[in-house]
Structure 1
Amino acid sequence: MPPAERASPHLVLVGGHESAEGADLSPYLDALPGAVVTSPGRSLHNRVSALLSTGEQGAPVVVLPMTWGRDPVMVADTAKTLRWLRSQHGPGRLVLGDAFGTIDHLVALLRRAATQTAAHQPGAGLVIAARAANPFDDAELHRVAHLVRTYGTGTEIEPACIAEPADLERAVRRSQALGSDVLVVVPAGFARTCPEVDALPGVTFYGPLMSERAAAQVVHQRLTAAVHRLGHGDDGIATGLLADHGHGYAHSHGLDGEHPHPHEHPHDHPHTHARAADLVDST
């Protein structure tokens, strides 16, 4: 008799500040039957623990960090939660997938937004907007905006880290002061709407970076790759623990290169990551 097929995996999407702690991911669920969305920490722990305890016997739980690369702390924290759960439930049923996207993917999609804006609204400026997080992730947004500006179409680019509606308005005023009377707000995360633009004359919202269908295709790719790696004994947790390695002031090496704290380092394993152009083409 042929060997029994492994039970279908349970999919958990975990989102941080790039998706309003997962709230922006809900529209994806229609294209991902059975998937659940959660925020990091206790919510993630409870969701995964329940699936491991009550889910179909033998069905792996795949946890996918929904980030464009600007929230490495969320990935590392997720890995820590899964490491603890692995110690309680044993290996082989839990896997941390690759992040949904990378900074390169984000820059490529934002450059496409700049190109389309320049083609359809010549002279319009672009405000790249994201929810305010921490100084390091916010600084990464400024770096991304600089890359889009440098390798874009000459479109004026202004980043906006939004903690309150007035933050977007200030970014709009800066752009207007530089000569952009017409502005397009484009999200640097998973936001699908931006109600704040309704109160700003001459400002429109670009729309989401990817359609639900395209995003679901990427999720399926990450899911398939994660299940494949789990079959080879790699649950991705060790790699995830290093996601925020070197991120922030607290992580530093001595002047002589000494590394004073231990890490769980992963074994070598070939991973296949999508090129930025491939992801853009799928939208």
Structure 2
Amino acid sequence: MAERVAVVAVGGHESAHGAALPGVLGPEVTSVAGGRQLRHAVGALLAAGADRVCVVPITLGRDAALVADTARTLLTLPPAERDRVVLARPFAGTEQLTGWLRAAAARVPARAALLVTAPAGDAHEDAELYRIARLVWQHGPHRIVEVALLGGDPDLGRALERCRVLGAARTIALPASFVLPAVPGTAPLLTAPAAAGVLAARVGAAMERLHTLGDDGLATARAHRPVHTHPDGPAPDHRHALGRAHGREFVHASPFPVA
């Protein structure tokens, strides 16, 4: 008989702590926040007949603590439950996020401004969003690429106003998270089939690692420490000074009022 594997998607600020995931990942996936919700979901699924639970941290690379926090929570489960849990690799990293945003930007007319949006995180995570937006600008034809931090500063209203002041007749929001901004016509970062494909790949790899290597992923993830490799200088991708290049202008959103 095939092993019955239930899937739990645990979200942080990039998915409103799991609240934004059901519409993307589907009803067959249990979407939760970390901590108590995660513990309860795992226990309930095992009690309901699942042979094993595979937990996938749903980060796009901007929630540095999610993986380790998830592992620590799973390690507090009773041994009978913990032995039937496997922790998968994170859903995606910033390289995949950048690629998905560039693909979305390529479908937007060059004359429109782009607004890269995501829930606010800590200072490093927010700085990473600016770096990603810089790469979207660098490799595309759009003159204006701005950032909005939902629940942070600059917020959505200020960023939209900045695009207008900079001369944008139309602004298209590109969500760099699973949370959609309140901008008409905004499409999700990934379609449901695409997200399901990524999730299935993470679960499949986790189960293969468990059965071939005996590795449930918990020890490795618990030891994970977030590393920010470029807090004080440019990343290797930064080949041009900020300012003007190729006849376009990249402007970081400012926390100060736009004059």
Report whether the alignment pairs 1:161 with 2:149: yes
Report whether the alignment pairs 1:56 with 2:49: yes
Q: Which residue of 1 aligns with 2:105?
A: 114
1:137-175 Cα deviation digits (max 9, x unpaired): 111111111111122224411011111798101011222
Cα 1:11/1:182, change in 2 over 3 Å? same
Which of 49, 73, 98 is the matching residue for 2:89?
Answer: 98
- Number of aligned pairs? 228
TM-score by length of 2: 0.80
Alpha carbons 1:126, 1:184 under 8 Å: kept: yes
Report whether the alignment pairs 1:211 with 2:199: no
Counterpart CA distance in 1 for 2:13 and 2:194 is 21
Report whether the alignment pairs 1:240 with 2:221: yes
Which of 11, 15, 22 is the matching residue for 2:18?
Answer: 22
The code of the aligned residue for 2:49 comes to E
Cα 1:245/1:167, change in 2 over 3 Å? closer
The structural deviation recorded for 1:130 is 0.8
Cα 1:84/1:26, change in 2 over 3 Å? same
The structural deviation recorded for 1:6 is 4.3
Q: Which runs of 4+ in 1 moved over 4 A?
A: none
Q: Which runs of 5+ in 2 are unaligned?
A: 230-259
Counterpart CA distance in 2 for 1:72 and 1:209 is 20
Structure with more of its chain in helix, by fraction: 1
The structural deviation recorded for 1:128 is 0.4
Q: Which residue of 2 aligns with 1:252?
A: none
Alpha carbons 1:72, 1:243 under 8 Å: kept: no
1:97-128 Cα deviation digits (max 9, x unpaired): 1111111111011111221113xxx3100000
The structural deviation recorded for 1:44 is 0.7
Which of 226, 229, 232 is the matching residue for 2:209?
Answer: 229
The code of the aligned residue for 1:48 comes to V
Q: Which residue of 1 aligns with 2:32?
A: 38
Counterpart CA distance in 2 for 1:134 and 1:83 is 26
The structural deviation recorded for 1:177 is 2.2
Q: Secondary structure at the match of 2:21?
A: helix
Counterpart CA distance in 1 for 2:145 and 2:93 is 20
Report whether the alignment pairs 1:130 with 2:118: yes
TM-score by length of 1: 0.74
Counterpart CA distance in 2 for 1:162 and 1:244 is 26
Q: Which runs of 5+ in 1 are unaligned?
A: 198-203, 249-283
Range moving further from structure 2, 175-184 or 156-165? 156-165
The structural deviation recorded for 1:50 is 2.9
Counterpart CA distance in 2 for 1:156 and 1:114 is 12
Counterpart CA distance in 2 for 1:137 and 1:106 is 13
Q: Secondary structure at the match of 2:140?
A: coil
Counterpart CA distance in 2 for 1:40 and 1:47 is 10
Q: Secondary structure at the match of 2:89?
A: coil
Q: Secondary structure at the match of 1:63?
A: strand
Counterpart CA distance in 2 for 1:66 and 1:146 is 24
Counterpart CA distance in 1 for 2:210 and 2:103 is 35
Counterpart CA distance in 2 for 1:151 and 1:243 is 32
